[in-house]
Amino acid sequence: MPILAIESSCDETSVAIIKDGKILSNIISSQYFHSKYGGVIPELASRAHLKSISDIYHQALEESKLSIKDIEAIAVTNQPGLMGSLVVGTNFAKGLALRNNLPIIPINHIEGHIYSSYLENSDYDFPSVALVVSGGHTALFYVKSYSEYEIIGLTRDDAAGEAFDKVSKLMGLGYPGGPLIDKLAKEGNPNFVEFPRSMINSGDFDFSFSGLKTSFRYFIQKNFEGEIDLKSKQDLAASVQSAIVDVLVAKTIKAAKKYKVKTIAVSGGVSANSELRLKMNESGNKIKIKVAFPSIRLSMDNAAMIGFLAEKKYINSTQDDFRNFTFVASSNSLRARYR
């Protein structure tokens, strides 16, 4: 049952076709032009989605060698995200579904990330602890099945990806900062500065990254004047990265032990981080719990993860469950559900 999925919640426009849990196509177009502004400009993002979505839809069908007549349902991210960006994807999806008389499956973007590491590791078991780390979210979930999960921890302020991006900006590097810090850190000394590991021993599963950014700013204001030399950039990148990764790994492992899970699933843009992959795998091995990461391409925003989860929901429902076209796009964050 091929499902055509659409993702446009932030600055990636993506259309994928999923059949029986496998990717037939997954076209992702990233809006790199935001880098010159140092962050995503919502109005420009929605205009760029509007410009490219139809082309991306046609490319996805072409690559899958299917036509719209072969598609059984349309899936679309309807929350959370940038309002104007979500509206482009949901309206495109509604138009397609109405014109082709197809059911439509609204999917929560974060839920898409939670299960994205199962797309390429379908043999991994539940229950799992899922860490979703991206530019907009840092959250831990206890996941029982494809339909049952609960939030067990959330960032109280900045997301981990936001911390990477802000620190990168403070060092005069580009946006997105995560990949740049990751690259520089490979040549740096992680013990150069002992940045704070906020809330590492807080006893709950919440996170906080805004203090790290502040302490980083004070450190460079105090110790550097003007342009920071390359060696210091490498050492600073390694030090800040290890502070972020230490907290993410410590909390996830603690949750995995407490909930006695079979799998640790890590996803979202920051899950591409090489140090996070290394440390989480090492720590998971030590306690004999499998660690699942999506491939780098599926760690970023993509429609394949939306289609994958939509198929799971669709299999367990009747077509009538997905004939409701009145759902709306919503920017709602996880916090609204958690607190």
**Interacting residues with ligand KG4 (CB under 6 A):** 10, 134-136, 161, 164-165, 176-179, 182, 268-270, 272-273, 300-301
Q: Which is nearer to ligand KG4, 71 or 75 (CB)?
A: 75
> Binding marks (x or -) toward Zn ion, 117..146, rule CB under 5 A?
-----------------x------------
Cα–Cα separations (whole angstroms), residue 167 to 158, 211, 213, 276, 282? 12, 12, 6, 17, 26
Please list every residue from 173 through 232 that binds Zn ion, using CB under 5 A: none
Picking from 58, 47, 57, the residue whose alpha carbon sits closest to that of residue 87 is 47
Q: Which is nearer to ligand KG4, 111 or 165 (CB)?
A: 165
Minimum gap (Å) between residue 134 Cβ and Zn ion: 4
Q: Which is nearer to ligand KG4, 186 or 258 (CB)?
A: 186
Q: Which is nearer to ligand KG4, 102 or 130 (CB)?
A: 130
Minimum gap (Å) between residue 81 Cβ and ligand KG4: 8
Judge whether 290 and 264 are in contact, CB under 8 Å: yes
Question: In the chain, where do the E strands start and end?
Answer: 3-7, 12-19, 22-30, 73-79, 104-108, 128-133, 138-143, 149-154, 263-267, 290-292
Q: Which is nearer to ligand KG4, 103 or 111 (CB)?
A: 111
DSSP string, 213-245: HHHHHHHHHHH--SSPPHHHHHHHHHHHHHHHH
Minimum gap (Å) between residue 19 Cβ and ligand KG4: 24
Find which of ligand KG4, Zn ion, none residue 165 binds, CB within 5 to 8 Å per kind: ligand KG4
Find which of ligand KG4, Zn ion, none residue 294 binds, CB within 5 to 8 Å per kind: none
Picking from 90, 20, 100, 16, the residue whose alpha carbon sits closest to that of residue 49 is 90
Q: Are strands 138-143 and 22-30 parallel, antiparallel or unpaired?
A: unpaired
**Tokens for 224?**
């550097």
Cis peptide before 176 (omega within 30 of 0): yes
Count of residues engaged in binding Zn ion, rule: CB under 5 A: 2
Based on its alpha-carbon atoms, the radius of gyration of the chain, rounded to whole angstroms, reads 20
Minimum gap (Å) between residue 109 Cβ and Zn ion: 6
Q: Which is nearer to ligand KG4, 96 or 271 (CB)?
A: 271
Classify residue 207 by its DSSP letter: B
Residues 6+ apart with CB under 8 A from 304: 5, 14, 16, 18, 23, 26, 116, 119, 298
Residue with tokens 């995995």: 256
The answer to whether 108 contacts Zn ion (rule: CB under 5 A) is no
Cα–Cα distance, 222 to 175 (Å, whole number):
24
SS3 content of the chain, % helix, strand, coil (to 5): 50, 20, 35
Find which of ligand KG4, Zn ion, none residue 177 binds, CB within 5 to 8 Å per kind: ligand KG4
Minimum gap (Å) between residue 216 Cβ and ligand KG4: 15
Minimum gap (Å) between residue 197 Cβ and ligand KG4: 17
Minimum gap (Å) between residue 288 Cβ and ligand KG4: 27
Find which of Zn ion, ligand KG4, none residue 2 binds, CB within 5 to 8 Å per kind: none
Q: Which is nearer to ligand KG4, 73 or 252 (CB)?
A: 252
Q: Which is nearer to ligand KG4, 71 or 111 (CB)?
A: 111
Q: What count of other Cβ atoms lies within 10 Å of the Cβ of residue 51?
A: 13
> Binding marks (x or -) toward Zn ion, 294..313, rule CB under 5 A?
-------x------------
Query: Rule CB under 5 A: which residues touch Zn ion?
Result: 134, 301
